Amino acid sequence: MQIWRQNRGSVLGELAESLIIAIILAVLIRWLIFQPFFIPSGSMEPTLMTGDRIIVSKFSYWLNEPQRGDVIVFKYPRDPSRAFVKRVVATEGETIALEENQLIINGQPVPENYLPADLTFPDFGPVTIPDDHLFVLGDNRNNSDDSRVWGFLDEDLIIGKAVAVYWPVSRIRLID
C-alpha cells in the first residue's frame, strides 16, 4: 500500500512506511482502546493477585455507565499520577453500608460471590453516593485503600474497565 507516493519505492522505504503506520496504529489503540496495567498490591485478592498484568478497556464507558460489580482502573483521587484498581460496589444515588461482613445497598443485602467466604471487615456507613460518583472497594477489604478511606470516586477519574488477566500465563482469564 502506497500512501505518500504513486511509484514503487525501495524496500527500505516501504519498510519505514510500514513501521510508521504500525507505530501510529499501536499508539492509537493504546491511547483510545486498550491499555495494559500491572497489579502492584494485594488489595484485590483473590480476584487479582500481586504481579498480575491486566488489559483495561478504555472505551467500555463511552456509551455505558459503570455497573455494580465492575472492576475498574482509575486515577487515584489523592494523587492522579497513580492508577488504582477496585470494584464498583455502589453507584450514584445508592445508599451503602457494610454491616456484619455484608454489603448493604439501599437497605438490602447484596451477595458478593467474589469475596472469600471467611472474610471479615469493619462496619461502615451508611452513606449515600452523590451524582457522578461511585463507591469502590478492594476485594481484599482488610488491605485496601478505597472509598472507605478517601471517599467517593468521581467518574471523571475512571480510566477504564479491567477485562482480562494476560500474565502470568497460568492466570489468563476474563475478569468478572
pLDDT per position as a tens digit, 52-97: 999 999 888 888 999 999 999 999 999 999 999 999 999 999 999 9
- Which DSSP string corresponds to 106-118? TTEEE--TTS-TT
- Domain of 70, CATH number, reads 2.10.109.10
C-alpha count within 13 angstroms, C-beta hemisphere, residue 160: 19
Dist. CA 43–CA 71, nearest whole Å: 12
Dist. CA 136–CA 146, nearest whole Å: 6
pLDDT above 90: percentage of residues in the chain: 71
Which of 10, 18, 41, 43 is catalytic? The answer is 43
Question: Does residue 86 have an active-site annotation?
Answer: yes
Which of 86, 144, 147, 161 is catalytic? The answer is 86
Residues 75 and 143 in one domain: yes
DSSP 3-state percent helix, strand, coil across the chain (nearest 5): 20, 35, 45
Dist. CA 1–CA 11, nearest whole Å: 13
Residues 28 and 63 in one domain: no
Question: Does residue 58 have an active-site annotation?
Answer: no
Residues 98 and 166 in one domain: yes
The Cβ of residue 174 has, within 10 Å, a number of other Cβ atoms equal to 9
Count the domains in the chain.
Answer: 2
Residue 10, domain extent: 1-32
Query: Model pTM?
Result: 0.82
